């Protein structure tokens, strides 16, 4: 893999942890730019400790290409099945972001009310694992569950996962990371708005359509990336 | 521009980021003390990384005087049109402060209940961009939208911007920055007070009139500024 | 003044700022152990920057004994009038702690529900400055307002101040500082408990009586003090 | 005691403080792997300052084996009586975690809604000290109160303590620490979910049964431990 892209992925792991979107248990992947049937994902360690040598390559059955003793995360099927179902997706984030979970367990719809998270207006489904597997441990730990999640996701930019978190996609890494960060913020804002009033002005369809492509998080990315890689370098010492 | 004022503006960018009032996307400007038809604003980078060489000068049509390859923020018209409409305003902050947005989308009025943010009692309007442009991306990206925002602002110290954030003014930089910080705090307090009770003692007109001029944030400013410039210096290394 | 006590007071300023109980505008004082008609209070700077040389001595009319060009805080009358009215009080904190203000503007009573803040069960009055001075800027900036505040306080450990913050006392510095920190935490807990249910088990009178003397914050104090003084020392460099 | 286990316990004290689950007043213990009638617990200092030499060994009557002038925490009976009653428990955390206390004072049941805290679904009782001792200071400061707490706990993984905090157990240290951290997070999520809707999908019994054993916090532990011990080492200097 290209060195800059590898550094992007290392940075993404740390950026998401720094923003409180993932803790020791979320993960972020990118599809290989060279081979659409491959993707890159860190081994099973806390994301904020990820370095370049922790990144593994996987095929779309979630088999590591060259594990060399490195453990895979059990939920890598979230990534492989979304990449299989959605050729447009180049990056996937799975997180437990705390303000999103209350929406996932109540079925209250998240809606677009903040321009930085306007993609929510494209509609976020909610994956109820119980419909696919009763009595599960909530983890998407096999191809069947991954495929069911990808089916719930459909053409949406992200899906909530009941009692668990969310899966967020992007046509590049910046987008999946930025969306994850602003999804968390927008969830908090929506909870607060709902407490203030039952009458909320959400984005209308035209505003969603106009806003979503503009919000690419390109101004934030260099700031986030530089800080994260400086920390990664400091951690080496 | 005067060196101390330039440092003030560098500091202001970083102070607002440090207080969580802006993230990678807010901005802060000052009107030129030498020419009321000019203002200073950083180029399109994350505010917490701004250094002196990132500051551009603009005319009131938001044309950069000497860009030298530096990109301008698309929403600079917020600044130029407020300076055009309000000769008393010497500084403008545009932010996405998170606790203010729930008010902007519900239309619940922000009111003065904390002496440090007593300026709220002068009345904060709410800019509904939809009245000026349907299906927008919410960004104030041209003179017409900037002028409409300035019109909504009127003689108020600040205006909310529906689904987006706010624009806060001051007769100097300390005031616009301090008001932005305490606007966020006061929004949180008002949400909490509204949850506790439907009967809230807001400031009366006489209290607003007596308090607002006193709250100049002069004791906080040297602390904020010193920390911010120490960080700016450290970032050079 | 004794060197250790002076360091205690420097530490207290920084501890309160570190815990988010005061920002650039709160203050903390101690009564002189040598002369009950004197007290010590920092000059008008941000508390988190206070060093030993910033501490002034005052008489009970709030006149500085030896100002040497150092500015006094305008609200020092909170301290002098409480010391005058309450011989048992050896330390006073004035703060704007954010979770307490919603109670002050709604008149919802704070009640003891967390053992670390059991002193709340002794009853916290709420100072309504409007009853003493109409159209004020909310600041307790003269002896008359200070005396009115002290009268509202009565024999209580603390009083809320409507739209402004609180004044917290102690028979020593640890107690006034510790109470201020746990008052803020208890206010948050009470707001949350009130959202969860209308039926709350508050401390009964016997529990308040048993708990309050035990809560002296003596285990926390050495930790807080050491960190604060290390920072004060680092700031010298 | 084994050196690695001793370091685990030092780390646990600091991890809990770092995550805001304990402040200067919580504590964490482990049962001796060599003698089930003994346990290890730090002396009465702020947990975030604990070093190896601060760890004491106790018998199940909470007598220190070799105090050497080190003060014991008054609430060590929480630990000894739980170890006496529950042979399966190898570690106990007592904390004042802030989001749990509102549940303890309202009697609103905590329920499992987040897979990382699925153990809540095994049922968390609430210890009402008033039933055992009227007019107490809420502290579990003798064997009788400890035994009553252990009785309320029963076979549950944790018990709330009204107006005070909680006691959390584990069959190892990772489990008691991880559960304490995610209990706090889950409490916040449940409060938010209850504000959003009265209809919440909690985990069903089969999901609790499947999830709880999986959640061992093993991926988080090395990250947490390494950071904590690096800090402990830095504090020596």
Min distance C75 CA to chain B CA atoms (Å) = 13
In 3-state terms, what secondary structure has residue B229?
Answer: helix
Chain B residues inside the 8 Å CB shell of C237: none
Q: What is the enclosing helix (H) or strand (E) of A180? A: helix A173-196
Q: Which tokens go with D178?
A: 């991880």
How much is the pLDDT for D103?
Answer: 98
- Opening angle at CA D35, ends D31 and D37, nearest 5: 70
Nearest CA of chain A to the CA of D189: how many Å? 6
> Do residue C199 and residue D107 have CB atoms under 8 angstroms apart?
yes
Residue recorded with tokens 């600044």: B79
Q: Which residues contact A90 (CB under 8 A, 6 or more apart)?
A: A30, A31, A33, A170, A171, A172, A173
Chain B CB contacts of C27 below 8 Å: none
| Per-residue model confidence (pLDDT) at position B2 | 85
Q: According to the model, what pLDDT value does residue C219 have?
A: 87
Q: Quick one: which of A158, A28, A44 has its CA closest to A100?
A: A158
CB contact under 8 Å between C219 and D102, yes or no, is no
Nearest to A180 by CA among A236, A134, A220, A232: A220
Q: Of the candidates A18, D191, C134, A132, which has an alpha carbon nearest to the alpha carbon of residue B206?
A: C134
Q: Who's near C136: CB < 8 A, 6+ residues apart?
A: B207, B210, C129, C130, C145
Question: Please, what is the Cα angle at C61 between C57 and C66, to 5 degrees?
Answer: 30
Give pLDDT, residue B202.
98
> Which chain B residues have a beta carbon less than 8 Å from that of A196?
102-103, 106, 108, 191, 194
Of A188, A210, A217, the CB nearest to B137: A210
Residue A73: closest C-alpha in chain D:
D219
Residue with tokens 């990772």, as numbered in its chain:
D174
Residues of chain B with pLDDT under 50: none
Closest residue of chain C to B220, computed from CA coordinates = C24
Selecting from A197, A202, A222 the residue whose C-beta is nearest the C-beta of B108 gives: A197
pLDDT band at D237 (very low <50, low <70, confident <90, very high): confident
* Mean pLDDT value across residues A84-111: 97
Rg of chain C (C-alpha set) = 17
Chain D residues with beta carbon closer than 8 angstroms to that of C116: 25, 96
pLDDT band at D63 (very low <50, low <70, confident <90, very high): very high
Among partner residues D96, D137, D191, which is closest to C192 by beta-carbon distance? D191
- What per-residue confidence (pLDDT) applies to D186? 98
Q: What are the pLDDT digits (tens) for C6-42?
A: 999 999 999 999 999 998 889 999 999 999 999 999 9
Q: Name the band, by pLDDT with cuts 50, 70 and 90, for residue A24.
A: confident
Q: Are D15 and D225 in contact (CB under 8 A)?
A: yes
Instruction: Render pLDDT for C170-179 as a digit per residue (tens, 0 to 9).
Output: 999 999 999 9
Cβ distance C111 to C125 under 8 Å?
no
Instruction: Check A98 against D197: CB less than 8 A apart.
Output: no
* A·B CB contacts under 8 A: 92
Report pLDDT for D231.
Answer: 93
pLDDT computed for residue B14 by the predictor? 96
- Residues A65-80: pLDDT tens digits? 999 999 999 999 999 9
Q: How confident is the model at residue D205 (pLDDT cuts 50, 70, 90)?
A: very high
The confidence score (pLDDT) of residue A237 equals 81
Tokens in use for A27? Answer: 């993960």
pLDDT of residue C2: 85
Single out the catalytic residue among C75, C81, C128, C184.
C75
What integer pLDDT is reported at residue C71 of this predicted model? 95
> How far, CA to CA in Å, does B144 sit from each of A114, A203, B81?
22, 21, 9
Distances (CA, A) of A182 to A106, A115, A174, B98, B147: 20, 10, 12, 11, 29
pLDDT of residue D81: 98
- Reply yes or no on whether the pLDDT at D24 is more than 90: no
- Model ipTM value: 0.95
- The DSSP bridge pattern shows strands D165-170 and D158-161 to be antiparallel
- For B99-162, the DSSP string reads TTHHHHHH-PPP---SGGGGGGGG---EE-GGGTSTT--S---SHHHHHHHHHHHTTSSEEEET
Residue A1 has pLDDT above 80, yes or no: no
* Res D1 pLDDT > 80: no
pLDDT at residue D123 above 90? Answer: yes
Q: pLDDT at residue C55 above 90?
A: yes
Mapped onto helix, strand or coil, the DSSP state of residue A223 is: helix
d(CA A78, CA A62): 9
The pLDDT, as a whole number, for residue B219 is 87
Closest-CA residue of C relative to D71 is: C219
pLDDT score of A106: 98
The whole-number average pLDDT for the span D130-158 is 98
The rounded mean pLDDT for chain A is 96
What is the per-residue pLDDT for B212?
86
Over residues C78-123, the pLDDT tens digits come to 999 999 999 999 999 999 999 999 999 999 999 999 999 999 999 9
D98 CB neighbour count, 10 Å cutoff = 20
Q: D20: phi > 0 → left, psi -120 to 50 → alpha, else beta; which?
A: left
Q: What is the structure's pLDDT at C217?
A: 92
pLDDT given for residue A2 in this prediction: 85
Average pLDDT for chain C: 96
Cα C70 to chain centroid distance, Å, stands at 22
Chain B nearest-CA residue for A191? B102
**In chain C, which residues touch D (CB < 8 A)?**
112-116, 118, 185, 188-189, 192-193, 195-197, 199-204, 206-207, 209-211, 214, 217, 219-220, 222-224
């Amino acid at each position: 893999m290209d060195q800059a892209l590898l550094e992007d992925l290392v940075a993404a792991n740390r950026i998401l942890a720094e923003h409180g979107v993932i803790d020791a248990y979320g993960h972020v992947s990118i599809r290989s730019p060279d081979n659409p049937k491959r993707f890159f994902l860190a081994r099973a360690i806390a994301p904020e400790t990820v370095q370049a040598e922790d990144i593994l390559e996987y095929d779309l059955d979630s088999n590591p290409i060259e594990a060399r003793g490195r453990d895979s995360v059990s939920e890598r099927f979230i990534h492989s099945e979304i990449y299989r179902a959605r050729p447009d997706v180049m990056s996937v984030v799975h997180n437990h972001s705390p303000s999103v979970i209350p929406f996932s367990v109540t079925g209250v719809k998240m809606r677009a009310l903040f321009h930085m998270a306007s993609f929510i207006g494209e509609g976020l489904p909610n994956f109820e694992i119980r419909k696919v597997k009763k009595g599960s441990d909530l983890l998407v730990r096999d191809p069947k569950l991954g495929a069911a999640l990808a089916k719930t996701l459909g053409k949406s930019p992200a899906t909530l996962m009941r009692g668990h978190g969310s899966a967020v996609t992007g046509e590049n890494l910046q987008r999946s990371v930025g969306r994850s960060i602003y999804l968390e913020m927008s969830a908090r804002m929506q909870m607060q708005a709902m407490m203030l009033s039952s009458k909320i002005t959400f984005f209308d369809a035209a505003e969603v359509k106009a806003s979503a492509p503009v919000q690419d998080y390109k101004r934030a990315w260099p700031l986030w990336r530089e800080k994260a890689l400086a920390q990664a370098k400091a951690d080496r010492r």
